[in-house]
Structures are given as C-alpha cells and as structure tokens.
Amino acid sequence: MKKIIAIAAILTSTYAANAQVSSTATQTVNLNLSNAIEITFTGSSSATGAAVNLAFNTVNDYANGVTSAAQELKVRSNKNFTVAIKANSTNFSYTGTTSPAPIMPVASVLDVMVSANGTGGTIASPFSSTAYADVTASNQNLISNGSRGGNQTFSVKYQATPGFSYPAGTYTTDVVYTATQL
C-alpha cells in the first residue's frame, strides 16, 4: 500500500509540473469615428483646380461658344452626400483696357455639364450629362445622393457663350463646388 501511495504521489507531482497554467487580460478598443468629407480636383489633388482658360480667337468661337476639356473632381466621404455648384459672384470681373469696365453676367454666359458621374448619385436638374445649364451665384445641387466611399468621381465641362456684346479682355469668375453629407 505504501508503494501505491508513493507511485500516486510521484504521478501527482509529475502531472502538476507538466500542467499548463494560464492567465488572461482583456482590453476594450473603441474606434471613435467622426463624419468626414473632402472634395478635390484630381488633376491637382487639392481643393483648388487649375485655371480653365477659354480662348475666343475666331468669329465662330464668338458665335458658337467655347467648351473646356473635362475637369474631374473626387469626393471622399463616410456618408452619402450632395455636391452643389455656384459662381463666387453674379458678374465676371474684368481686366482690360475698356473703361468703364463692361459688366458680363455669369448666369447668361457660363454653363456647365456633368460629362461623367461615378459618384453613385444622380445628376440634379437642371444639370445633365447631355446638355449645358447656367452656373449662377446661388448654390444649385449638381449631384444628389452620392454614395459614400473613398473615390467617388465626377467630371464637368464648361461652355461659355458671351456672343458679340463684350469687348476684348479677360473675364474671370471662380466656380465653387461644395460637398455636403446627408
């Protein structure tokens, strides 16, 4: 009987020496996300796009207007969004030799068309992908219900049709795009 107890004691101490011992620790990790949105021009990778120069060199340019190349913008947003467009003023600013300076209204001269739409949203009326609509000094929705994501792009083309009513010079306005989360 003493041998059995001795063998049991040896087995118990061997088992105890080989037993796995563990301990655990727990930590909570919180991701504190906030709403984020950004709109940039893909050509400059910034909120300021390159200047668009529309040159009127021939009588046909004055009669038919001049159209720009496509200008691509990118929206990155963690919520669905809209994009609005407006001119920064009602009239173009003028640089030239005519005095007094001529007054050219933006809304009757500068138009925009959405030439590509990869936002997942819809082009808002009066804008379209097939016809130009006036740019005004008031915010107008250009893209409605764009889908959240990191590479939501769209492109616009400008068309200017000043006609023959204005003297030579440089007429300038800034076009402002505003992306707003829904």
Q: Which residues of 44-73 are buried (b: 16+ CB within 10 A; e: fewer)?
A: eeeeebeeeeeebeeeeebeebbbbeebbb
Q: What is the pLDDT of residue 18?
A: 72
User: Would you kindly state where each structural domain of the chain is located, as residue ranges?
Assistant: 34-181
Q: What is the pLDDT of residue 19?
A: 81
Q: What is the pLDDT of residue 17?
A: 64
- Alpha-carbon distance of 54 to 62, in angstroms, equals 11
Q: Tell me which residue of 138, 156, 182 sits closest to 42, measured CA to CA.
A: 156
Q: What is the pLDDT of residue 133?
A: 97
CATH of domain 34-181: 2.60.40
In contact, 141 and 82? CB cutoff 8 Å = yes
pLDDT tens readout for residues 14-49 = 555 678 899 999 999 999 999 999 999 999 999 999
User: What are the residues facing 85 on neighbouring strands?
Assistant: 140, 177
Q: What is the pLDDT of residue 125?
A: 96
Mean pLDDT by 10 residues, the chain (182 residues): 54 64 94 96 95 96 97 98 98 96 96 98 97 97 97 98 96 98 97
Q: Measured in whole angstroms, how far is the alpha carbon of residue 170 from the centre of its chain?
A: 28
Q: What is the pLDDT of residue 148?
A: 97
